[in-house]
Amino acid sequence: MREQDQFLQVLDRDEAERRFRAALDLTPRGVETVPLDAALGRVLAVDIASAVDVPSFDRSNVDGFALNAQDTFGATEEAPRVVHLYPESIHTGVVPATVVGAGGAVAIATGGMVPRGADAVVMIEHAEAVGDTLRIARAVTAGGGVSFAGTDITAGETVVRRGQVLTSRDTGVIAAIGVSHVDVWRKPIVAILSTGDEIIAPGEPMQPAKVYDSNAQVLADAVRELGCEPLRMGIAHDDLATLRRRIHDALAAADVVLLSGGTSKGAGDLSYRVVGELRDPGIVAHGVALKPGKPICLAATAGRPVVLLPGFPTSAIFTFHEFVAPVLRLLAGRGSDDKATVSARMAVKVNSEIGRTEYLLVGLVETIDDAGDTALAAYPMGQGSGSVTTFSRADGFATIGRHEEIVEAGTLVKVQLLGGALQLADLVVIGSHCIGLDYLLGELQQRGVRSKFLAVGSAAGLEAAKRRECDVAGIHLLDPTTNQYNRPFLTPTLDLIPGYGRLQGVVHRPGDPRFERRSARDGIAAALKDPSCVMVNRNQGSGTRALIDRLLEGARPRGYAVQPRNHNAVAAAVAQGRADWGLTLDSVAARAALGFLPVQEERYDFVVPTSRANRPGVAAFKALLSEPRTRDVLAGLGLKG
């Protein structure tokens, strides 16, 4: 294999963007006329002015009688004013024949055309018709009960301005002035091509060393959200001639070309080689000093953007929103986007890499101090650029400068929000993962209680509860002195909601002689004697990790550094042969059809800061946990009350 080239000209983020923008034609892609019923969500290209008054006639706002206001002055129930009642009754949609003179009135329906000579309408409740006379019990002023022509919109008035993303309110106004077609900016067409021999389409059977193409889906929907039209061009494998043809097909069909994968400068990475053949000007930046997304390649040809996004999902999505989304907004006629930010304090210490601007994805939770004042705490989402969930679950990102190496816990940071306004959860849960908790939060979601769960382990969850950064912390911590779970760790500012019991044990593939028909301790001892035996650990700070470390008694076998965040991941690692053993729950092992050696019964309980105990989300959580049906479901999951 040819030695991988290095990124010799890594650019500052702002310089890369400047070069990219300078090479593009950022004007909208032209105007098209569409029917009004197809205009929702489109961007108006031309101001719309009304050719008519709205309303176009003097219109009654009530059911009643049209008359001259001066004929009602002084009217009371005890001394009503009496006027002549004309025989006509004016309905909607007709031009009245009656001309109302002094001392006269005519019946009129809501929405009816006010007849000539009348300047007010008295409500039907305040008048009584007796033969050809009308007795009026309440006075009205001129204009009362009437919308005069042009009071809403006057002819020549601009009602919707260009650049507006049309909503249902806008289309309603446009319909009200009689316009049936509108001029909108054409949607830019964005070609999306995934590259790499390892990529397979969703729906195909999973194969070893393959990954599903999630980038194409998230990019296509992100393109739609920005008012553009995605052109899915499928998957291109690592063949230079084929890739060259597919990219030129994309350039012939689209205004923008996006590729994911193949942006690094390795021998097997071909996308950047094909893009490097483009001219006018071709590649303007390849390698940007940021994290995630350093390998991004920005190019242009004849004013059209061609962007190679990194293959890892978080890197691809993040760099799309940083470099591509602002360009697409301009091409779609939407203008620049004002990015909302909030202030938050970093919940934990963060180490960063000198020399690269880091965009740290964070989840935001609301904290409450002793005075009852609220603030925001930012929890790093972590998991690296290969995670497909990090971006979707984050609330925003904090920017760590390229010269910053450490951000201490408690540091005030600016968080740029993702997806518009911040929507704080009704219930924030931080701590240890459990399949029972998954059920509880899912059920609450069905009942309209939005939750946020951060899996940081029992110890970190307990600390978050002490800092009042969560509503509930799920924990299973054993106190070795009392041999009791969870209660010994409470403080006067924490309450305990009893949860349920769980059985932890060693999980292994059936038939493995190192574990089959042995006790857990004997199985672990046999595993430690076999250098080829690989374990899968759990994340530091979790209750399961503490139990594993006690069982290992200082040993560090192969696989010790592999630290998934939940029980299901442990079972998956063993079932797929990536590891030979680990610690998980009996119910998880049973669902994965794995062998199980019991280790210890434990309690999984919920800790609540007393200052947050009366929040509606906590009340809903406690109520759900106490329901008999909930207990039945938890028992069905192998969790004991």
The contacts of residue 204 (CB under 8 Å, 6+ apart) are 212
| 522-558 as b/e: b if 16+ CB within 10 A | ebbebbbeeeebbbbbbbebbbbbbbbbebbeeeebe
Residue 44's DSSP bridge partners are 184
Structure tokens at 40: 């929702």
CATH 3.90.105.10 domain range(s) in the chain: 31-37+48-54+152-185
CATH of 425-641, one of 3.40.50.720, 3.40.190.290, 3.50.50.60, 3.30.750.24: 3.40.190.290
Bridge-based pairing state of the strands 427-431 and 451-455: parallel
Residue 400's DSSP bridge partners are 358
Residue 189's DSSP bridge partners are 229
Tokens 């940021």 locate to 290
Q: What is the pLDDT of residue 264?
A: 58
Residue 368 half-sphere exposure toward CB, CA atoms < 13 A: 16
Distance CA 385, CA 173 (A): 46
Distance CA 262, CA 275 (A): 11
The contacts of residue 539 (CB under 8 Å, 6+ apart) are 455, 456, 457, 545, 563, 564, 565
Backbone torsion region of residue 203, taken as left when φ is above 0, otherwise alpha when ψ lies between -120 and 50, otherwise beta: left
CATH 2.170.190.11 domain range(s) in the chain: 59-147
Phi, psi torsion values for 409, nearest 5 degrees: -60, 135
Structure tokens at 121: 């309408």
Q: What is the pLDDT of residue 114?
A: 98
- 605, 476 Cβ separation under 8 angstroms: yes
Dihedral, CA of residue 571, residue 573, residue 575 and residue 578, to nearest 10: -160
Phi, psi torsion values for 93, nearest 5 degrees: 85, 5
- 189, 258 Cβ separation under 8 angstroms: no
- 451, 428 Cβ separation under 8 angstroms: yes
- 513, 500 Cβ separation under 8 angstroms: no
- 360, 397 Cβ separation under 8 angstroms: yes
In this prediction, the residues of the chain whose per-residue pLDDT falls under 50 are 1-8, 267
Under CATH, which number does the domain 31-37+48-54+152-185 receive?
A: 3.90.105.10
pLDDT tens column, 75-113? 999 999 999 999 999 999 999 999 999 999 999 999 999
Q: What is the pLDDT of residue 389?
A: 67
Say if domain 13-27+187-331 classifies as CATH 3.40.980.10.
Answer: yes
Q: Which of 370, 367, 383, 505 is nearest to 430 (CA)?
A: 367
pLDDT tens column, 376-391? 999 998 655 556 667 7
Q: What is the pLDDT of residue 265?
A: 53
Distance CA 107, CA 66 (A): 6
CATH of 341-417, one of 3.40.50.720, 2.40.340.10, 3.20.20.220, 3.30.70.3340: 2.40.340.10
CATH 3.40.190.290 domain range(s) in the chain: 425-641
* E strand intervals along 166-303: 181-185, 189-195, 199-200, 211-212, 229-236, 256-260, 281-286, 290-291, 297-301
* E strand intervals along 522-570: 535-536
Residue 70 half-sphere exposure toward CB, CA atoms < 13 A: 5
Q: Residue 124: count other Cβ atoms within 10 Å of its Cβ.
A: 16
CATH 3.40.980.10 domain range(s) in the chain: 13-27+187-331
Q: What is the pLDDT of residue 385?
A: 55
- CATH class of this structure's domain 59-147: mainly beta
Tokens 């109302």 locate to 100
Three-class SS state of 217: helix
Q: What is the pLDDT of residue 248?
A: 94
Q: Which of 444, 459, 469, 425 is nearest to 611 (CA)?
A: 469
Structure tokens at 536: 């899968």
The alpha-carbon radius of gyration of the chain (Å, integer) is 34
